[in-house]
Structure 1
Amino acid sequence: MSVPSNSSDAPHDPYAALRIPDFRRLISARVCLTMATRIQGLVVSWQIFKLTEDPLALGLIGLTEAIPSIAVSLYAGHVADSVRRKNIIVVTVTALLLCAVALTFFSSYGASLLSQHALYGVIFVSGIARGFLGPALFSFMPQLLPTRDQLANAITWNSTTYQAASVLGPAVGGYLIAHLDVANSYLVATVLLAVALAQFVLIASRPLPVMEGERLSLQDSVLSGMRFIWNNQLVLAALSLDLFAVLFGGAVALLPIFAVDILKVGAAGLGHLEAAPAVGSVLMATFLTYYPLRRHAGRKLLWAVAGFGAATICFALSTTMWLSLFLLFLTGVFDSVSVVVRQTLIHTFTPEHMKGRVSAVNNIFIGSSNEIGSFESGVAAKHLGVVPSVIFGGTVTMLVVAFTALRADKLRNLDMTPDRVSA
């Protein structure tokens, strides 16, 4: 199967998308938004671990955010294809800003049992907001591009800047916890969210893409994204591979325990551990900006996810800070390959008027699997122990890769040359 492209024999311009002013505003806003949420996530994890010293409590952070996000995702996709996407982005980022204000307020009144429950409550509300934000952001980004030829470059820059912010966020968060207090750390996240909101407001609104065919009922519209992915075996295989890798292979939820009990590096060290995967991701994403994935992309994807699982297992066994940082760095390198391939496939195969709904399904597969994976990690650590649970997750990831390589021949043979995506 192949999808034609408008690309020509012109030299590859690695800065094509960055020449578009509204795209620059979008990624600048995303940098601030991502830094804020990563700082906030790190501080919440640190605060709840200090309150409870319970791995399961860390896992519940992810579950508390994933449940509302999954619950609204399909409807959020319908909304993203029915309402101007900029309006959704502004409303949801405003909601996240109010959540950050609430976290700052609750943390100013001490670490009581009431404040612990309040933290989970704010996380739940932020999960609803992020459930609506994801499809709107995903589908709004291509609308800022004058031509489709700039899409692959925009996807890579979007991923690169996201990962760069993911590097800075935990590093800054760890520094803030170590040198200031929790409430002031949340305050920094609040300021960053306010800057992100201002950047989003400055972006010119775009009309919705023209819908093809007859207008669907609410139920058919909500479910159409799921049907679309189910009927596209290539996209389904790529999403499923990432789903199980993220669900079982991630050790991020347990990093506070590794930092305190195993590596003994404290809050500042935790920030470095949190940032290490993102450092790997941003470097690989930058490399892919100049040298895009083309030949044998499917095989490279499978090897990358297998490498992610292997690096996770080795991280669980490490008791040395520098080695742990390097192994987490490798997980980010491998994950970046998966992100770029998956997003390119979804954007390539999905009609513009359906991108909100398809992105919503992607959010259920990938976005919420991060939070559910955090819960799985917490439960597994509670019953198996921290190190065995991470080894188990990495092993399952590698088994999933082997199964996918055997059964998903379209993904295994995926080719992403400039003129076509073929399987």
Structure 2
Amino acid sequence: MSHTPASSHASAQALLKERDYLLFWASRFCGSLAAQVQSVAMGWQMYALARQTRSVEESAFLVGMIGLAAFVPVFLLTLPAGEIADRHNRRRVLQICLSGEMLSVGLLALASWRGFASTSLLLVIAAGFGASRAFFSPASTAMGPMLVPRELLPRSIAWNSLAWQTASIAGPAVGGVLVAISPAHAYATGLCLYLASALAVTAIRKNTTPQSQPGSRWTLMKEGLAYVWRQKIIFGAISLDLFAVLLGGATALLPVFARDILHVGAEGFGLLRAGPAIGATIVALSLAARPIRTKAGLFMFGGVAVFGLATVVFALSRSLWLSVAALAVLGGADMLSVYVRQTLVQLVTPDPMRGRVAAVSTLFIGASNELGEFESGVVARFLGPVGAALFGGVGALIVTGLWAKLFPALRKADRLE
């Protein structure tokens, strides 16, 4: 089947006519923007508080501890959350999660404004945020395909990624500016954005309750795990992302690089945080206009390899603009691999199982992101921040080569239709 520019344009127009999908997209954008602003503020505030009494290495370790605190509830709750997303109204689950996120960022705003913020409080809030995200991600991932016809699914995935990446550009930049005024301003902004996200979800009219599933909670969770294990392309794709990002999580060290390596302050930190999303948005725009049709596996492996190389360049850079450029390439490469993985997973997964499969994927992503931050903090404690970033980039390259041999079916995966 050929895909002409006219048919591509027609499908884009069709997507714009889906009212509930547009509300979902707006909610995703506002919620992602809020999460980015909150993340920037928490990382910067943790490092600033820690540096009052601790060394650079010890402070970098505490920044990494935010990731561990957020991952523990994800690890414990994600599989039950997937089962809930496959039994209950997915819109209602999102509303409850967004309420929890508003509560956490509101408490941070109050603590920063009244002057009782501490490293311990930041870690507790990070754990609460992780618990909310454990339920949010499977429900959101599973609800998106319910709002569009199947033929629009690949394009909607690209536009979903575009919402997240656009927020990831604006979020760090906005967060960096607001943190330079005060962390309380950043957290208050996040609270308003979470509220907008919740209102957009509430306005969705379509039925978002999945088909009723028989069996006990444990049986349903086992079915989800077994399905992912049997589908070797899915298992290979999400595990490749897990180990590559787990090792290559240099972005967790950006507060350290901004303050003590590149010496560029809060404004430079905002630029560095925006770097990966700049590249990712360029790639997401390209994919939204012209989705990948063939050679999907090769695109995915190529993206992870470039991700590792760009991480090495970032580790060795002492120029702000070279560092931002390396981070932009890193983000674009990561976007490419994420797009292939998400499209593969959602196209082959039946709707009654989407929540559970999304939960397994969320667990892997959470491990790669939050545990990746912790890994970077631990390695930085012993090798220093530069050594930790270099270690991660080389590790991502090794994982790419190893997975290409272990999962030949993933490497040979062709069509994304």
TM range (shorter): over 0.9
Q: Kindly indicate whether the alpha-carbon contact (under 8 Å) linking 2:246 and 2:367 is maintained by their aligned counterparts in 1.
A: no
Quote the offset at 1:126 in angstroms.
Answer: 1.3
Hey, what does 1:62 align to over in structure 2? 67
Deviations 1:360-385 (A, max 9, x none): 00011113420110000000000111
Indicate which of 39, 63, 74 corresponds to 1:41. 39
Secondary structure at the counterpart of residue 330 of structure 2? helix
Identity %: 37
Q: Kindly indicate whether the alpha-carbon contact (under 8 Å) linking 1:86 and 1:205 is maintained by their aligned counterparts in 2.
A: no
Secondary structure at the counterpart of residue 16 of structure 1? helix
**Cα distance in 1 for residues equivalent to 2:195 and 2:400:** 41
Q: Kindly indicate whether the alpha-carbon contact (under 8 Å) linking 1:74 and 1:223 is maintained by their aligned counterparts in 2.
A: no
Quote the offset at 1:138 in angstroms.
Answer: 0.4
Q: Kindly indicate whether the alpha-carbon contact (under 8 Å) linking 2:380 and 2:386 is maintained by their aligned counterparts in 1.
A: yes
**Cα distance in 2 for residues equivalent to 1:210 and 1:192:** 32
Residue type of the alignment partner of 2:346:
H
Gaps of 5+ in 1: 419-423
Hey, what does 1:269 align to over in structure 2? 268
Quote the offset at 1:227 in angstroms.
Answer: 1.0
The aligned runs of 1:59-208 (5 Å cut-off) are: 59-110=64-115, 115-145=118-148, 147-178=149-180, 180-208=181-209
Q: Is 1:309 equivalent to 2:312 in the alignment?
A: no
Hey, what does 2:345 align to over in structure 1? 346
The aligned runs of 1:249-398 (5 Å cut-off) are: 249-398=248-397
Q: Kindly indicate whether the alpha-carbon contact (under 8 Å) linking 2:143 and 2:208 is maintained by their aligned counterparts in 1.
A: no
**More deviation, 287-296/234-243:** 287-296
**Cα distance in 2 for residues equivalent to 1:234 and 1:321:** 38
Quote the offset at 1:111 in angstroms.
Answer: 5.4
Deviation beyond 4 Å, 4+ runs, structure 1: 7-10
TM-score when normalising by structure 2: 0.95
Hey, what does 1:11 align to over in structure 2? 7
**Cα distance in 2 for residues equivalent to 1:255 and 1:34:** 19
Q: CA RMSD of the aligned region, Å? A: 1.7
Quote the offset at 1:16 in angstroms.
Answer: 3.1
Quote the offset at 1:151 in angstroms.
Answer: 0.4
Deviations 1:275-320 (A, max 9, x none): 1101111110100112211221211211110000010011000000
Hey, what does 1:421 align to over in structure 2? none
Cα pair distance change 1:8/1:318, threshold 3 Å: closer
**More deviation, 198-207/373-382:** 198-207
Quote the offset at 1:205 in angstroms.
Answer: 4.5
Quote the offset at 1:106 in angstroms.
Answer: 1.1
Residue type of the alignment partner of 2:380:
A
Quote the offset at 1:208 in angstroms.
Answer: 2.9
**More deviation, 321-330/17-26:** 17-26
Secondary structure at the counterpart of residue 295 of structure 1? coil
Q: Kindly indicate whether the alpha-carbon contact (under 8 Å) linking 2:15 and 2:152 is maintained by their aligned counterparts in 1.
A: yes
Gaps of 5+ in 2: 52-58
